[in-house]
Amino acid sequence: MTGSNETLVDPKEAYDLITKNLQEVLNAQIIKDVLEVEKRPLKLYWGTAPTGKPHCGYFVPMTKLAHFLKAGCEVTVLLADLHAFLDNMKAPLEVVQHRAKYYEHVIKSILRSINVPIEKLKFVVGSSYQLTPEYTMDIFKLSNIVSQNDAKRAGADVVKQVANPLLSGLIYPLMQALDEQHLDVDVQFGGVDQRKIFVLAEENLPSLGYKKRAHLMNPMVPGLGQGGKMSASDPNSKIDVLEEPKVVKKKINSAYCAPGVIEDNGLIAFVEYVVAPIQELKYGPDHFKFPIQRPEKFGGPITYDSLQQLKDDFKSEKLAPPDLKSGVTDAINELLAPIREEFAVNKEFQEAQEKGYPVVVAEKTKKQKKPKNKGTRYPGGQNNAQDKDPKETEQIPANAADKE
């Protein structure tokens, strides 16, 4: 593969790969200086907080990790376990380590499924360095110069917002800023929803004597509902990477998809930001094939060779929502098949899921039978009634006190 650390890619070619398909780049000159002046591999990290199960939206940053590796970058994936805990306790501490392991399996599996060599990828768990005295001291220093309003604003698009926010939500963006220094990178990469945290880092790290970093931002893939992004914590907005084919079909069929509307259309966005880049990675530039198994009465099967043609046909309503849904369902199931297969044979992967996302079974309390009062008009009945304390004929359910 082109672009190992031993054989540097041409700086212009590397820069184009690094910034390909991004929505925004902050401090691009930092990247150019590393590639052109220092002539060394760019050091970059992407962080993910292991909260809910990873979904199909994760294919978007994965294609970018592929571009970074191809450009000869040194790429670190941060499994931000403490961030997951700080984000309104989305992940309890006792399961967060297992979730981090699960995320690592998913990320490696996705990358392998789209033919990305992962030998040069470095995985780091946040708590492995975020609990050191040096890091803790840096949090104190940063909290001495960042106002609570700035910290709250920085995390507004990332940390779950509630009526009475916890202090943890203010610590979260400070730690994300400091991770750039403690992971020793030139660049942080994330979704455009991270922008305010990136700006917080750029404005405040120099006050601690640390260098300013560049920031790369992906567009956010709309969810399956009306508006909003795919979210790990909203099961209806996303498709998990281990979702069964029939569940994928059901979710896609119920996805919001107005005829002729391309803006905020989660299905069109999935084709644009997931299917097209993955095909390009696998088969080279300008390769696009999107088959749709359309019923004969609506024109029969069709294969699109251009994303623009697909968009144009949908906009002019030559392509109907049910047919687009059919094509997207097939494309997603094709992408997820190798991940599901790997999960089926990998015991560690399965164990990480079981321990990271334990199935909560609601306890069923047995209804205790009340003894029937048969009266005294049967053989021996009178004797029983005389021998026993009348209070004993009614049993109190063991859980009666719990219900009060």
| 182 in the same domain as 273 | no
Strands 74-79 and 43-48: parallel
Q: Extract the tokens encoding 350.
A: 């399965």
| 264 in the same domain as 213 | no
CA distance linking residue 291 with residue 303, whole number of Å = 4
Q: For position 259, which CATH number holds?
A: 1.10.240.10
CA distance linking residue 329 with residue 83, whole number of Å = 33
- Domain annotation covers residue 66: yes
Beta strands, E only, 8-59: 24-26, 43-48
pLDDT of amino acid 274: 92
Phi and psi at residue 190, in whole multiples of 5°?
-170, -175
pLDDT of amino acid 394: 42
CA distance linking residue 12 with residue 7, whole number of Å = 15
Distance of CA 51 to the CA centre of its chain: 8
- Domain annotation covers residue 366: no
Residue 227 makes CB contacts below 8 A (sequence gap 6+) with: 264
pLDDT of amino acid 6: 45
- Domain annotation covers residue 282: yes
Residue 312: give the domain boundaries.
245-356
CB contact at 8 A, 184 and 226: no
- Domain annotation covers residue 156: yes
Q: For position 67, which CATH number holds?
A: 3.40.50.620
- Domain annotation covers residue 267: yes
Q: Extract the tokens encoding 264.
A: 């905020």
| 35 in the same domain as 142 | yes
Distance of CA 82 to the CA centre of its chain: 16
| 291 in the same domain as 188 | no
Residue 115 makes CB contacts below 8 A (sequence gap 6+) with: 281, 282
Number of domains forming the structure of the chain: 2
pLDDT of amino acid 120: 87
CA distance linking residue 34 with residue 11, whole number of Å = 9
Q: Extract the tokens encoding 139.
A: 């949090």
CA distance linking residue 152 with residue 197, whole number of Å = 10
CA distance linking residue 145 with residue 40, whole number of Å = 33
| 155 in the same domain as 26 | yes
| 203 in the same domain as 85 | yes
CA distance linking residue 395 with residue 398, whole number of Å = 9
| 253 in the same domain as 177 | no
CA distance linking residue 262 with residue 222, whole number of Å = 11
| 249 in the same domain as 213 | no
| 185 in the same domain as 52 | yes
pLDDT digits (tens), the chain, 404 positions: 444 444 568 999 999 999 999 999 999 999 999 999 999 999 999 999 999 899 998 999 999 999 999 999 999 999 999 999 988 667 788 899 999 999 999 999 999 999 888 888 999 999 999 999 999 999 999 999 999 999 999 988 888 777 787 888 899 999 999 999 999 999 999 999 999 999 999 999 999 999 999 999 998 888 777 656 666 556 666 899 999 999 999 999 999 899 999 988 999 999 999 999 999 988 888 899 999 999 998 889 999 999 999 999 999 999 999 999 999 999 999 999 999 999 999 999 999 999 999 987 666 655 666 666 656 565 555 555 455 454 444 443 444 344 43
- Domain annotation covers residue 5: no
Q: Which position has the token pair 């909290």? A: 143
CA distance linking residue 234 with residue 240, whole number of Å = 11
- The secondary element (H helix, E strand) that includes residue 190 is strand 187-191
Measured in Å, how far apart are the chain's first and last C-alpha atoms?
68
3-class state of residue 345 by DSSP: helix
Q: Is the dihedral of CA 66, 72, 73, 79 positive or negative?
A: positive
| 259 in the same domain as 166 | no
pLDDT of amino acid 224: 78
Count other C-beta atoms under 10 Å from residue 299's C-beta. 13
CA distance linking residue 84 with residue 45, whole number of Å = 17
| 259 in the same domain as 204 | no
- Domain annotation covers residue 273: yes
| 292 in the same domain as 193 | no
- Domain annotation covers residue 261: yes
